[in-house]
Amino acid sequence: MRWILTGIVCGLLLAGCHKSSDMVSECEDPLFTKAQQYLNENRGDEAFILFNRVVDTRPGACAESHFELGQLYLSIKQDPIFSIYHFRQYLIQKPEGKRVHLVLQMIETAKKEFARSLPLNDRYTESPEYLNLIEVLKQVRSENANLKNQLAQLRMAKGKATENRGEVVAPVIQESQDRERFYVVQNDDSLSKISLKMYGSAVKWNIIYEANRDVLPSANSLKIGMKLRIPVLKKNSERNAK
């Protein structure tokens, strides 16, 4: 009888330990924190391996790992299809997450990258898949135009409100209208968000990244208060980028 009771107690203790392990949040998972460290050290390939291990080993939701994998598949692995898959997993697991708007923008970016990789022979351009992608691109351009208008209106409204209060709120520092601008990183900023604010398109984040490689070891190493150079695009280069 004593051995039976001892076995029951041990079983309960083991079950309690297993439950406690499962209750550790994704952001506290040692694999996740190590992967984030690798990102900060510009070791994207090693971070990629660890984020995949988080997804494979965690029994519950791991939306943040899916988000990071979506970015890595797009920027390092050059695989927009898997990038879209992981971004959609984020949307499924965090439909009201703070990154939803950014994830939607990145999905459209991945679709455009996939469209560029397709062969453009006459036979293929008549296929339903290609025609559907053309429609997607048209929709993205239309949405970008609407976003530019909305941002312009928001900036005008914010400027008026600031002027009425007699306050100075200026995360963007204009130093030269012809050559270069600067932006001070705010809370929850990412390169895609900054690109959307400054250029009206989240797709041009890499321009900002390349201009600030001296202070950014990786695209995910932004810090609040960091001052970034924002290159002024010439009209011809902006037209080509679109």
In a domain, 230, yes or no: yes
> Where among 54, 88, 117 does a domain terminate?
117
Q: Which residue has the higher pLDDT, 233 or 15?
A: 233
In a domain, 37, yes or no: yes
Give how many domains the chain has, as a whole number. Answer: 3
Between CA 230 and CA 215 the distance in angstroms is 13
Looking at the structure, tell me whether residues 105 and 133 fall in a common domain.
Answer: no
Looking at the structure, tell me whether residues 109 and 127 fall in a common domain.
Answer: no
Query: Dihedral sign, CA of 42, 63, 114, 142?
Result: negative
pLDDT of residue 66: 93
pLDDT of residue 84: 94
Question: 236: domain range?
Answer: 172-241
184-226 pLDDT tens trace: 999 888 898 898 888 888 888 989 999 999 999 888 889 899 9
pLDDT of residue 8: 46
Q: Is the pLDDT of residue 177 over 90?
A: no
Looking at the structure, tell me whether residues 142 and 205 fall in a common domain.
Answer: no
Q: Band the pLDDT of 30: cuts 50, 70, 90.
A: very high
Q: Which residue has the higher pLDDT, 204 or 135?
A: 204
Q: 73 Cβ partners below 8 Å, 6+ apart?
A: 79, 80, 82, 83, 86
Q: Band the pLDDT of 68: cuts 50, 70, 90.
A: very high
Q: Is the pLDDT of residue 52 over 90?
A: yes
pLDDT of residue 24: 81
Lowest mean pLDDT, pick from 79-88, 109-118, 126-135, 201-210 = 126-135
Lowest mean pLDDT, pick from 94-98, 103-107, 233-237 = 233-237
Q: Which amino acid is at 131?
A: L
Q: Band the pLDDT of 59: cuts 50, 70, 90.
A: confident
Q: What are phi and psi of 225, to 5 degrees?
A: 90, -10
Rounded alpha-carbon distances, angstroms, from residue 152 to 116, 158, 159: 30, 10, 11
Helices (H), 166-227: 191-199, 205-211
Token pair 């029994």 in the structure block, residue: 59
> With left for phi above 0 and alpha for psi between -120 and 50, is residue 61 left, alpha or beta?
beta
Rounded alpha-carbon distances, angstroms, from residue 34 to 72, 133, 217: 16, 38, 16
Looking at the structure, tell me whether residues 159 and 176 fall in a common domain.
Answer: no
In a domain, 11, yes or no: no
Q: Which residue has the higher pLDDT, 107 or 129?
A: 107
As a whole number, mean pLDDT of residues 64-77 equals 93
Looking at the structure, tell me whether residues 55 and 102 fall in a common domain.
Answer: yes
Residue 46 tokens, joined: 């090693």
In a domain, 7, yes or no: no
CB 55 within 8 A of CB 65: yes
Between CA 50 and CA 29 the distance in angstroms is 11
Q: Which burial class, exposed, middle or buried, applies to 204 when counting CB atoms under 10 A from its CB (0-12, 13-18, 19+)?
A: buried
CATH number where 43 lies: 1.25.40.10
HSE value, Cβ hemisphere, 13 Å, CA-based, for 221: 16
Q: Which residue has the higher pLDDT, 208 or 21?
A: 208
In a domain, 4, yes or no: no
Q: Is the pLDDT of residue 26 over 70?
A: yes
